[in-house]
Structure formats: C-alpha cells, structure tokens
Amino acid sequence: MEPPLEMESAVGGESVGVSVFEGAACPGPEDLVARAIAPVKSQYLRAPPPRSGSLGSAVVDNANEKSSVPKVVVTKEKKSRRQLKRERKQEQESAKKICPEIAKTGNIGACRYNDNCRFSHDLDAYLAEKSPDLEGICPFINVDETCPYGITCRYSNTHKQCTSLKPNSSAKRSSEVNCLNKDLQKLLWKDKVSFPKADFQLQLLGLKVGKSKHMNSEADIVKDHQEADNKQVLCSSEFTQDCSPTYIENECLGSDFISEDPARLLKKPKSKYDEGNFESDISHGTNLEKEKIQDGQDCSLHNGQDSVSSDYLCSEVESLKPHARERKLIDFRGKLYLAPLTTVGNLPFRRICKGLGADITCGEMAMCTNLLQGQASEWALLRRHLSEDTFGVQICGAYPDTVARTIELIDRECTVDFFDINMGCPIDVVVNKGAGSALIMKPMRMKSIIQAAASTVLTPLTVKVRTGYFEGRNRIDSLVSDIGKWGACVLTIHGRSRQQRYSKLADWDYIYECARKAPDDLQILGNGDIFSYTDWIKHTSDCPPLASGMIGRAALIKPWIFTEIKEQRHWDITSGERFNILKDFVQFGLQHWGSDAKGVETTRHFLLEWLSYTCRYVPVGLLEIIPQRINWRPPSYYGRDDLETLMASDSAADWIRITEMLLGKVPEGFSFAPKHKSNAYDRAENG
C-alpha cells in the first residue's frame, strides 16, 4: 500500500524521529538494527521536519485559535500551593460545584445539609454554565447501572433513554472492590487502628514495634508484652478490644487454624469494624492452643500478669509461622503476568490487558506509610475489578513494622490473591528513603521484612528485585535460596541493576543462573525486554526452571502482546483495531474515574500518558525485519492510513488530537507533558 504523501500531523507536519536519510545511500536493515533503529520499509519513510517548542509537551489555547488544533509551546510553570488553594476555593464557591446529592437526583431538597452544605444548590445556574454534552452514550448505561453523576454527567442527555427502558432500575453492586472505608480512614488519621498480628510477629522475631530502625533486646520484648496489658485497642467507633499478649497470641494462633475451616474459606469478614469482633473468626483449633498455653506448656499466666520468656519467643518463632500447606498457593508457571506499572498500570488499563489475554494482574506500587496514614489517593491503587480473577497488590516500604502492618491491614480490609513487595524500584525518592532497590544492599533488612510479612498473613507473598544495585555487581544469586526460606513463594528478577534503570538490555543469562539456584518451592519469574511471542518462547525454553515471565513496558506499547503469545503469532494489527482498544479504555476510564467533567479530564490525562508509550509501536507490515525489539527507536514514517500515521507521532499535540476524537475538545488552557518521558530515548531520565 502506498503511503499517504500529503498526510501531516496536527502540528504542521512536525514529528520527531530518527533520521535514516543521513549520507548518500540509505543504510540497510541490518545496519539500522545495529544502531537500534527500527528498519521501516523505505516506501514509508519520511524526513523528520524540524521541531519547534519543547519535546513531548503541549499547551492548547482555544480562545486564540479558531480550530481545536493544539499548538506546541513551552509548558506553563507549576503553580504555588497558595495559588492552587485559592483556585480550589473559588471553584468550590462557583455554581459549577453543584451538590452531589442534588446532581444525582435533580431535586433541590435532596441534600440533608440544606443551607449548611458547602456546595452550590443553584441548579439553574449550574445548567446554564455546564459545558455541552459529549457525543456518545453514558458509560454506565452499557453496564446496566444507574449513572451516579446525574446531571453532571457529560452524557446526561442519554439518561432519559435509560429511564424509559428501565424505569425501576436501581444501581447494581459495584464491579470494583477494595475501596477505602471512610470510618477506617478516620481511624487511620487518628492512628487508632490496631495491628495485633503484625505486632506480635514482630516481637517474636525480635524486632522493635514502632518507627525505630533498631532491633529490640530481650528485656525490651518482655517489657513491651507487659506494657501491652494495660492498653486498649480501638477497633471501631462502637467498641474496643483488649490488646494483651494473651489476646494477641490467640488471634495469631487462631489465624493458623482458620485456614482449615471450610466456612472460613468461603466467607471472610471484610473488616473487624463491620463484623464487630475478632472472636467470631477464631475456630476450635485456637481453643486447643489456648489450653496449652494455660496449662503452662508454653508460658505462664499469674494474677493477670503475662510473662513471656525469651526461650518461649525463640522456640515459638518457627512454630507460629504458617505452614506451607496452610498457605494459599498460586501457580505462576506458564501464566502471563502483567507487571505493576506506575501511573499507566491503572485499573482501566489492566481491564484492557485482561481482555487481551493477561492471566495475572497487579496493582500499581503503593507506599506503606501513605496507606497507614489513610491517604485516599494511595488506597485507590488497591482497587480491583471483578474481571481480575488473579490479582495482587504491590507495596513498598523500608522497615519490617510498616510492611507487616500494611499487609495485615490490607488483608483485613481488601480482597487480594497475593502481596508483592517491591525491592527493586530505582526511583530516587524511594531509594533515598531506604526502600526499593536500596534494600538490595541490606540483606538483613530484606530478611526482616520478608519474615515479618510472611508470618503475619496466610496470603502468598512475592518479592520483586533487580540483579543488584551497581552495574556489573550482581548479588541476588547469593540470596535466592534464602529468600525462599524467609517466606516468599515467588521471586521476580528484573534483569537490570538499579544503576542501569532501563538502559541497555536485560541480562537474561543472569536470570537463568538465579533460576537454577532457586529451591524447588520458590518460583522464579524473569522480567525485562519481552516484546514478542518469540522472546517469550526463547526465555521459557532456554531455562526450564524459569516459572514464567513478567511483561511490563511491552504491554504499554502493545497490550495485545498477550494475545500474540497465546496465539503464537505476530499480529499485524490495524489502526482501526488499535483505535477500538482506545475506545474501550475510555469507557473503562469513565466508569472508574467518573463521567462528570472531572472524570472526563482524568480519563484524558491517563489516556495521554498511555499514548506517550503506544507511539513507539511500529506496525508489523511496515518492518523489514520482524519482530520489533523494545530498544528500537522508530524513524519518522507514514502509516498505511491517516489514523496509523497519527498514532505514530511522538508529538504531544497529536496525542491530544486523538483524545479529542474520543472525549471531545480539551478545556481552555489545557496542557500536558508526559510524566515518565517515555518517548525520549536519549534522555537520562528515561534510563
């Protein structure tokens, strides 16, 4: 097919790409591959015109432009906190900030706060200022749910149709779980949530409970147990629970026996705040263990005073750990595992990958301290869609107490299939706090974290690491056997060091070496540069002990890689099929973030973040050599149709144009710059 010669991007034909027109003769495909340039067929190539403005950023001013064509300029400066606070206050006082209850029902008298409500009740003023509705159907109608946004929905003109079809329909149960309970959030703010299992396991392991980094002495452990007698643990706003060592022991011991109760497996209380008491969770096996303790076999109780000897603490550390047969088991072997991806690995994106063949999904990395502080934005990373049948959450922390408490809290409040501890994050702000890749240099800290987390809950625990901290100084192979003994059931190894970040190719030979050294009960997953089904087959066949592979950036660039692996083919996907995937993302995004003005713009933002990766994909039919490698830089080229050409652009203005095809025109003064600079191959920040 001949390329459309007159196709231009939304920024006047500007496009950044790798020039292959240098010199008198055009280099051959092998020469381009050696230079890490995608060998696009010559009839589709075009010379990249010079670019004006900053790379990958765009600002749109609809007031000065007759058309909605974006204009690339330097991104505006970041506003101060005082400016943002003043703008939020002005927005809150405006008619656009309509009361949610009035918006949902359309009735001015629906708000129970009346004149004391901090939102506007002027329904007519809101309707006068509301932006025109977007084309299309409300995303909640497609899932047979009543739209919770009422008149604020940008598709509200289609609600009448839904009402006429189902006049008595009521909102169904949400398809998303793991939402943060408001009562729990208030308790977290006040630091009044108890963590009996985590604290008891930390004391058994000889770790100080609290924010201290240091180990506790035996005297301190006994003192902590004795001081706990007089403490009350606030479990809800309605009642309190005693937090004595005897109670904590019973709770911890009871959790080991509960896993054998079929009724417990079928129904798990969502929260101790809702169920009222932990005692309902304790089975008869706990009572047997309680009798042993009262008989003096393990410890003695005199006059209400608990004395815990150091011998008891040392001897019971192993016995109190859940046995391997009591843990839920997840077989990762041969499964397609979507890696936890910051910013872009959100719930709508995971739904896309799940529909395209992913078997296992994991939420974005959440910081333990933020979760324990009740930050709603951090808890939102734990939300799970019902289509995610095997789902885990990834957490990151620097100390055993924060990690163990976070895991106990999530296990109590949420529904997850496994926990993943990130010990490989290379981001500076994480490493400087002693978390992520910094733990690779502290094996004893790694041991404490894994042991404390694994002994607190029965949910499987996985760990993600890198080969080492410094390039050329790999060290994970010396810890592989120990990580399995500490309590992890799966170890994912990213084949790069922290110093490498994402530069150079992943070292799969070293991953193979680690997989061969791993014990039989520890599954090893490889991660790095899997970009086609041939890569998947090569890695799994070259090293049979390797359980599976984790797919990260490849899923961002081409989420249909899961379909390619399952069907064993290179999918020459058309631009129309790719656009339909974007449509699905928009629908999922509006259902997740909302169909009101704020939800539409949030969906647009995350769609733009994703488009900053998808532009790196080169269609199979345009390549001289297949499959494409993840480190190949695409040159400037024409697609087989106008839409494919537009999708190949790495200009943020063209990404905005794609979002306008799906979500309408952007607001006045809209600006965007990709967070991770994913389209900047030559930037140090990207590697």
Strands 300-302 and 305-307, bridge-based pairing: antiparallel
Angle at 290 between CA 284 and CA 295, to 5 degrees: 135
Look-up of token digits 């002005």: 90
Look-up of token digits 């926990």: 419
Burial of 248 (0-12, 13-18, 19+ CB in 10 A): buried
**Terminal-residue alpha carbon distance, the chain:** 36
* Integer Cα distance of 111 and 115 in angstroms: 9
Q: Enumerate residues 6+ apart whose C-beta is below 8 A from 129.
A: 94, 95, 96
Token pair for 183: 């009562």
- For residue 512, the SS3 value is helix
* Integer Cα distance of 306 and 323 in angstroms: 27
Catalytic: which of 425, 489, 514, 615? 425
Residue 340: is the preceding peptide bond cis (ω within 30°)? Answer: no
Q: Which long-range contacts (CB under 8 A, 24 or more apart) does 62-71 make?
A: 62/665, 62/666, 62/667, 62/668, 63/668, 68/660, 68/665, 68/666, 69/10, 69/653, 69/657, 70/10, 70/11, 70/652, 70/653, 70/656, 70/657, 70/666, 71/11, 71/653
Please say whether the beta carbons of 4 and 638 come within 8 A.
yes
Q: How far is CA 28 from CA 45, 75, 340, 629, 635, in A?
A: 13, 39, 38, 17, 14
In sign, the C-alpha dihedral spanning 641, 647, 653, 658 is positive
For residue 682, the 8-state DSSP code is: T
Q: How far is CA 211 from the centre of its chain?
A: 26
Q: How far is CA 93 from the centre of its chain?
A: 34
Residue 186's nearest CA partner among 373, 402, 369 is 373
For residue 303, the 8-state DSSP code is: T
Token pair for 282: 């304790």
* Integer Cα distance of 15 and 648 in angstroms: 9
Q: How far is CA 591 from the centre of its chain?
A: 17
* Integer Cα distance of 440 and 445 in angstroms: 9
- For residue 396, the SS3 value is strand
Please say whether the beta carbons of 666 and 68 come within 8 A.
yes
Please say whether the beta carbons of 455 and 200 come within 8 A.
no
Residue 501: count of CB within 10 angstroms of its CB:
17
Look-up of token digits 């009346």: 114
Beta bridge partners of 384: 177
- For residue 630, the SS3 value is coil
Beta bridge partners of 385: 176
Q: How far is CA 429 from the centre of its chain?
A: 18
* Integer Cα distance of 500 and 506 in angstroms: 10
- For residue 671, the SS3 value is strand
Residue 100: is the preceding peptide bond cis (ω within 30°)? Answer: no
Identify whether 299 is a catalytic site residue: no
- Helices (DSSP H) in 24-137: which residue ranges? 29-34, 81-93, 100-105, 123-129
Known catalytic residues? 425
